[in-house]
Amino acid sequence: MATAGTRVGDVLTDGSSVYWLESRPSEGGRSVVVTTDSAGSPYDVTGADSNVRTLVHEYGGGAWTVTNGTVFHVEMGNQQIHETLDGATRQVTTEEDSRFADLTAHPNGTHLLAVRERHGRDTEPENDLVAIDIATGASEQIFAGTDFVSSPRPGPDEQIAFITWSHPNMPWDHTELRVTTWRPGSSSNGRVLLSEQGVQQPMWVGKMLHVVTDRTGWWLPHRVDLDSRSVTALIDEEIDAGVPGWVFGLRTLGHADGAICTMWQADGLAHVGWIRDGQIDEIETDFIDIDSISVGSDGRIAAAASSAAEPRCIVLIGPDGAVEYLTTPETPIDSESISRGEHITFPSHGRTAHGLLYRPASSVATGPADQLPPLLVLSHGGPTSSARPGFQLAIHFWTTRGFAVVDVNYGGSTGYGRTFRELLRDAWGIVDVQDCIAAAEYLADAGIVDRLKMAIKGGSAGGYTTLAALAFHDVFSVGASRYGIGDLETLARDTHKFESRYLDALIGPYPEARAVYVERSPIHSVDSITAPMVILQGSEDKVVPPNQAEDIVAALDRQGLAHSYVLFEGEQHGFRDAVNIARAAEVEYVFFCRVFGIEPSGDPEPLEIVHL
């Protein structure tokens, strides 16, 4: 699961060439830009000592771009932009205390556009939009004045379209589409074309500007008239063709010869196709998880995609559905051991919730005939995110060991329209928890899982949902939290700029709504937890610092409740090193087995469980 877990994504085309980013747990989690040679064999573009990653917004994204065979990337070590051509690399920028993201080549051939985030001041970091002289590394400010800026996209007549927003909004709340005119030495803040909920991904097609916005209640592609500011939806469907902007560089739109292609989500699964005459002409493929699309000069769609039976890989998808694999999908388990996710819908407190169900599957073992399998409920992060379909070794780790797994798309998740996504407004810690519980009870009532052996786990925001489910309810027998949020007040006071006002919408403004923060913080209700817990944390996490985990662990210890705590040195928000990825999964599995009275398979390392 860990060593085969190279993650591919962030796909870009340069003419007919395709480039992508690989994150490699086997190499300490470093990220590498990759392309193919004339024979179609992949090779690394960035060097063996390079780690392509930006820390803008802490979550990063958009850390590199390519133009005419030259790759520009942000180096993790110094957060500066570097240039690589024909195997030779040089540093472009030298701005101390600055980070860069969302790199985009300007058509003048001499400049890059980028989002800059400047640190080192007494106030929160400052974000602006800059043009960087490739030859000298000098930066020229194009736009400033809002808390955040993203997606600089150069168009005709020296125009640049980009997205801005300010506190307390998140990029899927209220954003602005702006257009400015820039040439070296001359710029203005431009004008606001759109100011509405969730506008994202500006894309020029000739002289026409397109965006994704959810003004219909669903994230759909629209065309924007620059003169009249009128907005026209390209399609009228109840599908989500947009994604929450947790990271830079997300792309669900592309174009070729004036035609628009898009990726969208419906019923928990991903689809891709071309928009023609107000309709979507879907391309039939086996892929159910698709992202980061880019169209090459040959009209084929490059993407990172996975099917139910094949892990994520880089592919080229033709108009007729013909697929060329640029990376080889390596499936380290046999077909009979693959659990294919089923999209399920179930009732929850008068509304409908969703999830992806994975049943136990193995070619070498069967469960006891007189017993139902234990259940693992997954609460995804975000919480404005979604459960991803497709082949995932992290899920098969459990299903091949006899667990059923349900990955819950609770109220607030993306992919089911704005109304569903807004169910978490003022209700985080309530709706998400209710839906995770409802999923478990639905499967138990259907006779699919053992009601007495139900576990829940999640990371980050999903860790908070896990902690809240255990602190305020008694449905689950055991839980696992990865870098989860135990104290909402601490998160509101101490978290980084990007998320510092996120809780305004999920909980309420702080400190005005302090009583609600206290009421919904699991740290204040640890005495109500009766289920054993395993806590995993990265020592360098800046999003949810280790003190959150340590406060929970201390409270569990005072209560005498069975628990384990594992701190991974050097890890940040999410584990990237293969050794740590493997150990984290093994710790959770062994802990759950000990609680459920199941003999763990294999020969796992010893795990200390306090108070058990």
3-state secondary structure 303-329: EEEEECCCCCEEEEECCCCCEEECCCC
**Alpha helix ranges (H) inside 322-455:** 393-399, 418-421, 431-445
Same domain, 319 and 387: no
CA 428, CA 417: separation in Å to the nearest integer?
Answer: 18
Same domain, 342 and 321: no
Whether residue 283 is found in the same domain as residue 389 = no
Q: Within a domain: residue 601?
A: no
Q: Domain for residue 607, yes or no?
A: no
Q: What does the alpha-carbon distance between residue 486 and residue 469 come to, in Å, rounded to a whole number?
A: 12
Phi, psi of 523 (to 5 degrees): -60, -25
CATH number of the CATH domain containing 363: 3.40.50.1820
Contacts of 315 (CB under 8 A, 6+ apart): 287, 302, 303, 304, 305, 323, 324, 325, 326
Domain limit, last residue, from 285, 302, 325: 325
The answer to the question of residue 473 being in a domain is yes
Residue 43 and residue 34: Cα distance in Å, rounded?
6
Looking at the fold, whether 116 and 172 belong to one and the same domain comes out as yes
Rg (CA), the chain: 24
Residue 9 · residue 263 · CB < 8 Å = no
Q: Answer with the one of 273, 305, 325 that is the final residue of a domain.
A: 325
Report pLDDT digits (tens) over 441-462. Answer: 999 999 999 999 999 999 999 9
Q: How high does pLDDT run on average in the chain?
A: 94
Beta-carbon contacts of 382 under 8 Å, excluding residues fewer than 6 positions away, are: 244, 246, 412, 413, 414, 460, 461, 462
Q: Where are the beta strands (DSSP E) in 198-286?
A: 200-205, 208-213, 220-224, 231-233, 253-256, 259-266, 269-276, 279-282
Please report which confidence band the pLDDT of residue 555 belongs to, taking 50, 70 and 90 as the band edges. Answer: confident
* C-alpha distance from residue 248 to each of 64, 181, 218, 221, 263 (Å): 10, 22, 21, 18, 17
pLDDT band of 5, cuts 50, 70, 90: low
603 domain-assigned: no
Q: What is the mean pLDDT of residues 390-418?
A: 96
Residue 33 is encoded by which pair of tokens? 């830009």
User: What pLDDT, on the 0 to 100 scale, is given for residue 384?
Assistant: 92
Q: Can you tell me the mean pLDDT for 559-583?
A: 91
Instruction: Say if residue 379 is in the same domain as residue 422.
Output: yes
pLDDT greater than 80 at residue 6? no
φ, ψ for residue 75, nearest 5 deg: -90, 130
Average pLDDT over residues 271-298: 95
In a domain, 2, yes or no: no
For the cut 80, the answer to whether the pLDDT of residue 537 exceeds it is: yes
Mean pLDDT of 531-559: 89
pLDDT given at position 370? 94
Share of the chain above pLDDT 90, in %: 84
* pLDDT tens, residue by residue, 93-149: 999 999 999 999 999 999 999 999 999 877 899 999 999 999 999 999 999 999 999
In this structure, the answer to whether residues 293 and 419 fall within a common structural domain is no
Pairing of strands 375-379, 404-409: parallel
Tell me, yes or no, whether 357 lies in a domain. Answer: yes
CA 201 – CA 563 distance, rounded (Å): 44
Give me the pLDDT at residue 542, please: 79
Residues 306 and 354 in one domain: no
Q: Do 369 and 248 belong together in one domain?
A: no
Of 302, 325, 348, which residue is a domain's last? 325
* Same domain? 215 vs 354: no
Find the domain containing 204 and state its range.
Answer: 7-325
pLDDT per residue as tens digits for the range 309-338: 999 999 999 999 999 999 988 888 999 999
Whether the predicted pLDDT of 169 surpasses 90? yes
Over the stretch 209-242, which tens digit does the pLDDT of each residue have? 999 999 999 999 999 999 899 999 999 999 999 9
Looking at the fold, whether 47 and 96 belong to one and the same domain comes out as yes
**Within this chain, do residues 169 and 67 fall inside the same structural domain, yes or no?**
yes
Give the chain's domain count. 2
Task: List CB contacts of 213: < 8 A, sequence separation 6 or more.
Answer: 194, 196, 197, 198, 199, 200, 219, 220, 222, 231, 242
**Whether residues 73 and 191 fall in one domain:** yes
What's the CATH number where 126 sits? 2.140.10.30
pLDDT number for residue 187: 73
- Provide the 10 A C-beta neighbour count for residue 225: 12
pTM of the model as a whole: 0.93
Is the distance from CB of 341 to CB of 357 less than 8 angstroms?
yes
For 278, half-sphere exposure in the C-beta direction (CA atoms, 13 angstrom radius) is 3
Measured CA to CA, the distance from residue 212 to residue 474 in angstroms comes to 42
241 located within any domain: yes
Give bridge partners of residue 196 from the DSSP assignment: 175
| Residue 212 domain-assigned (yes or no) | yes
Cα(358)–Cα(361) distance, rounded to whole angstroms?
9
